[in-house]
Chains A and B, each alone.
Chain A
Amino acid sequence: MPGFDLIIVGAGIVGCACALEAARAGLRVVIVERGVVGGGTTAAGMGHVVVMDDSPAQLALTAYSRSLWLTMAPELPAGVEYESRGTLWIAADDEEMAEVFSKQTTYAQAGIASQVLDPRELAEAEPYLRSGLAGALLVPDDGVLYPPVAAEYFLSEARRLGVVFLSDHEVVRCGKGRVQFANGTSIEAERILLASGASIDLLPSLPIQKRKGHLLITDRYPGVVSHQLVELGYLKSAHKLTADSVAFNIQPRLTGQLLIGSSRQYGDESREINHAILRSMLERAIEYMPCLKGLSGIRVWTGHRAATADKLPLIGPTADPTLFLAMGFEGLGITNAPGAAVLAIDALLGRASVIDATPYLPSRIRQEAVHA
Chain B
Amino acid sequence: MPDQQIVIHVNGSPISVPAGCTLSAALLMASAPCRISTTGQPRTALCGMGICLECRAIVNGVPHTRTCQTVCQEGMRVETQS
Q: Which residues of A contact B (CB under 8 A)?
A: 219, 221, 255, 294, 296
Chain A residue contacts of B63, Cβ below 8 A:
219, 221, 296
B64-A294 in contact (CB<8A): no
Instruction: Tell me the bound Cα distance from A24 to B55 in angstroms.
Output: 50
Contact A219 B62 (CB under 8 A): no
Residues of B within 8 A of A (CB): 38, 62-64
A-B CB pair tally, cutoff 8 Å = 7
Give the chain A neighbours of B64 by CB distance below 8 A.
219, 296
Q: B62's closest neighbor in chain A, by CB?
A: A294
CB distance from A253 to the nearest CB of B (A): 12
Tell me the complex Cα distance, A221–B81, Å.
Answer: 11
> Complex: how many Å from CA A310 to CA B63?
45
User: Which residues on A sit within 8 Å (CB–CB) of B62?
Assistant: 294
CB nearest to B56 among chain A residues: A219
How far is B58's CA from A294's CA once the two chains are assembled, in angstroms?
A: 13
Chain B residues whose CB sits within 8 angstroms of the CB of A294 once the complex forms: 62
**In the complex, what residue of chain B is closest to A219 when comparing beta carbons?**
B64
Residues of chain B contacted by A219 (CB below 8 angstroms) = 63-64
CB proximity of B59 to chain A, nearest CB, Å: 12
CA distance A296 to B64 in the complex (A): 7
Contacts of A296 in B (CB 8 A): 63-64
Scoring A221, A255, A296 by chain B CB atoms within 10 A of each residue's CB, the highest score goes to: A296
CA A130 to CA B63, docked complex, whole Å: 22
Give B19 Cβ to nearest chain A Cβ, in Å: 28
